[in-house]
Amino acid sequence: MDVLGVRVSIPENEVVVVLAAKGAGRVVLPIVIGPREGASIATAQAGIVPERPQTHDLFIALLEATGVSLERVQVTKLEHGTFHAELHLSTGHRVDSRPSDAIALALRAQCPVLCAEDVLTTAGVIMDAEDEADVVANFQAFLEDVEPEDFEA
């Protein structure tokens, strides 16, 4: 999956991360997330490196210090309206995670974000090429001016 970006949904004022399935006939998966996780994802995508490590930066640094790496993350299920994810570590361990945290970590570790097929079937939205171009262009414009404070509740 590609992480298309983070947007604030109007009029609900919800923060949404949008994942896109790779390949033809793009399917996107919108997931409502918290504002702080949205800021963390957006700053990682924009290449902003904080002066001091934030929570997701710290987690990656701890993994590296112990010789463990984050190999991939996967959105595993949708249960009662809540998405679930797992972190797949180089040790073979899997760690339960919120998708927002998993995505923020994946961007920092530069590892793949995967999604279970049944989750895409249930919650995915099919976009045509014109919609996709608009989403990407809007998100690129958004990244140019994003500040962490934009996501404060």
| Domain ranges for the chain | 2-151
Is residue 68 within 8 Å of residue 91, measured between CB atoms? yes
**35-92 tens-digit pLDDT:** 999 999 999 999 888 899 999 999 999 999 999 999 999 999 999 999 999 999 999 9
In whole angstroms, give the CA distance from residue 89 to residue 35: 26
Tell me what pLDDT residue 134 has: 59
Average pLDDT, the chain: 85
Enter the pTM of the model.
Answer: 0.80
Cα–Cα distances in angstroms (integers) from residue 140 to residues 5, 6, 96, 118, in the given order: 9, 10, 31, 29
Tell me what pLDDT residue 147 has: 59
- Topology of the domain comprising 2-151: Bifunctional nuclease domain (3.10.690)
pLDDT bracket for residue 143 (50, 70, 90): low
Tell me what pLDDT residue 86 has: 98
Tell me what pLDDT residue 49 has: 87
Tell me what pLDDT residue 122 has: 92
Lowest mean pLDDT among 10-24, 50-64, 90-104: 10-24
**39-51 tens-digit pLDDT:** 999 999 998 888 9
Of 14, 31, 34, nearest in space to 73 by CA: 31
Check pLDDT > 90 for residue 33: yes
User: Where is pLDDT greater, at 126 or 115?
Assistant: 115
